[in-house]
Copies of this chain bind each other. A is one copy, B any other.
């Protein structure tokens, strides 16, 4: 297993197959309730895979618009045993006030809570990158991404996300929540000063509106999923200028929006 054993726990189960019942050793993916405490106030609790918790916290805060740059953060401390990440910002950010209560419980695994309005998103977020990627390069990335998503194969329980340039995967993360996996890779970029502009995001999970918004906030022009998008995900991709690719598996993919960024070999490039 590529991911090490900290993500999984060994248990004994009973397996039923057509040849009978037997007790066997098996593994299940770990789930940690992680509370993010922002400047001594409780912000949110996320159910997550207990790896890269700093990145998760930083990525989440950026996704929610609470911070935009890493240097706004003074200190991040992780207490994994107690399931707490404490973040101190330089300016006292406090909790988002009114908007805090206009929270959106997201549709997915590990269900986050988000604090933005959709109308604002469509007005404010525009991705204008002129990046083009060849079909062949994209299929290579999808293939590499699939090979790295080992934990899913082992436990059937996690999503993966990656930040890539058109050559290779730069940052990769697993999580039981598809939102968390995306926040983790963005948090890693934020903390390690990896620019997201002109990069691609790969994800195993469905593309609903919140995922699209996370990606648009980072000025990412190409979002590729192994799974399906929702109509709202497609509409937001269209409006924000993001090339949205779904069902990317083997040598197939669907391009939902702004298909000009994916160039065939024949188109030159």
Contacts and interface: CB of A to CB of B under 8 A. Distances in A.
Interface of A: 8-9, 11, 13-18, 21, 26, 28-33, 35, 42, 44-48, 83, 101-115, 118, 135, 155-157, 175-180, 205-206, 208-210, 227-234, 246-247, 251-256, 259, 262, 264
B227 A33 contact: no
A118 to B, nearest CB: 6
A84 B11 CA distance: 43
Given A15-B255, A16-B255, A47-B104, 5 more contacts: A14-B259, A30-B232, A45-B111, A45-B112, A176-B230
A157 B44 contact: no
A152 B88 CA distance: 43
B35 A155 contact: no
B110 A109 contact: yes
Counting chain B CB atoms within 10 Å of each CB, which of A8, A9, A33, A135 scores highest? A33
A83 B113 CA distance: 10
Given A13-B256, A16-B252, A31-B233, A42 B111 contact: no
20 contacts: A13-B254, A14-B254, A15-B253, A16-B251, A16-B262, A17-B251, A28-B233, A28-B234, A31-B233, A32-B232, A33-B209, A35-B106, A42-B101, A45-B104, A45-B112, A46-B109, A47-B106, A47-B210, A107-B177, A156-B246
B234 A11 contact: yes
Nearest to A234: B28
B103 A44 contact: yes
